[in-house]
Structure 1
Amino acid sequence: MRLFISATLILAALVHLLPLAGVLGSAQLNTLYGIPIAEPNLELLMRHRAVLFGLLGGLLLLAAFRPTLQPAAFIAGLVSVGSFLLLALLVGEINPLLRRVVIVDAVALVLLLAGAAARWQVNAQLAK
C-alpha cells in the first residue's frame, strides 16, 4: 500500500514538473500551451507560474519518500489540479493543447484521490 501511495505522488509530481520547462522562455511556453506569449508582463507571470509548478512537483516528489509530508502534498496537489479543472470548466472554450492539459490533470486528480484514500486507509489501520 505504501508503494502505491508513493507511486501516485511520483506520477502527480511528473505532471507538475513538466511545465517547469516554461521557465526557459516564451518559446517553451508556446510549445506547452499553444499560446503565443508576446507581451513581456505575461511572459513574466507565466514563467513564474512554471517555477511554482516546479515547487509543487518537488513537494509531491519529496513526499513520495517522506510520509510526514504526504498530507500536505496531497492537499496541495488536489487544490492545484482541482482548481485548474474547475477554471477550465468555467472558461469553456480552450485550445487543443490546453484540452490535453485538462485530460492530464484529470488523470492526476484521480491518482491523487486514490493515493490520498490509500494514505487515509493506512492511517486508519495504524490507529487501531
Structure 2
Amino acid sequence: MLYNYLISNCGAHLKNYSLAWTGSNSVRFVPAYDLVSTAVYDGRCGAKLSRSMGLRVGEHLNIDKVNADDFDLLAKELRQPAWQAADERARLRHELPDALRRAAEQAVCSGFGEEADALADRILFGAKVRMKAFG
C-alpha cells in the first residue's frame, strides 16, 4: 500500500493483492501487479483521474490528505509493529528514486523514447511530496 501511495496509484484495490499458501501452512503476499501512477493523468493529455484511492489509508481516501498519522493508524490496524512500519517507509524513501531512474532507463532502451524520463520525473516529484507527508 505504501508503494502505491508513493507512486500515486489511486486505482489500487484489494483485487490487486494476492496471497499464496506456503509449504509451512502459512500465507505470504505474491508479487503485486497493476502498478500504475494514476496521478500522471492530470488532464495534460486528456483524461484527469480521481485523487481518491481504492483503499483507505488511516482516515483518508484522498491521496492528498494522507499524513503520517494515517500510516501509523494503518500499521496499527494491520497489527504491524511501529518500528517495522517506520523501517519500510525509510527503505522506500531511500530506494524509490533510484528504482524509478532505472525503470526509466530501461524504458528508453526498450524504445519508449525520452518521454519515459519525463514520466519518471513526474512520478518522483509526486513521491517526494508524499514522502514528506508520512514523515
Question: TM over 0.5: same fold?
Answer: no
More helix per residue: 1
TM class, shorter-length = 0.3 to 0.5
More strand per residue: 2
